[in-house]
């Protein structure tokens, strides 16, 4: 399975204050969105999950998922460095 490697990784603060995680692929982003995201619902979250799935299925490019992840982070008020 293609992981959808990102050219420009995203580092964000996790739910643990002061703990950061760097995401460098769509597969990693999907895992975070599904298992460790602070919100369970939201329009941007739903779109980010769909974008990740499309990339992993090969019908979108990885930058689409990266941008969707950033929009989901803004929606969830997740700090991105």
Q: Read off the DSSP letter of residue 34.
A: H
Question: pLDDT, tens digit, for every residue of 4-57?
Answer: 999 999 999 988 888 999 999 999 999 999 999 999 999 999 999 999 999 999
Q: What is the DSSP string of 44-79?
A: HHHHHHHHHHHHHTTSS-HHHHHHHHHHHHHHTT--
pTM for the full predicted model: 0.93
**pLDDT of 1 higher than 80:** no
- In the block, residue with structure tokens 């597969």: 27
């Amino acid at each position: 399975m293609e992981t959808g490697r990102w050219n420009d990784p995203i580092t964000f603060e996790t739910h643990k204050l002061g703990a950061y995680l760097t995401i460098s692929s769509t597969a990693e982003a999907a895992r975070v969105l599904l298992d460790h995201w602070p919100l369970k619902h939201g329009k941007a979250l739903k779109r980010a999950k769909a974008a990740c799935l499309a990339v992993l299925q090969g019908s979108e490019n990885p930058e689409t998922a990266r941008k969707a992840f950033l929009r989901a982070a803004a929606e969830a008020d997740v700090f991105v460095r």
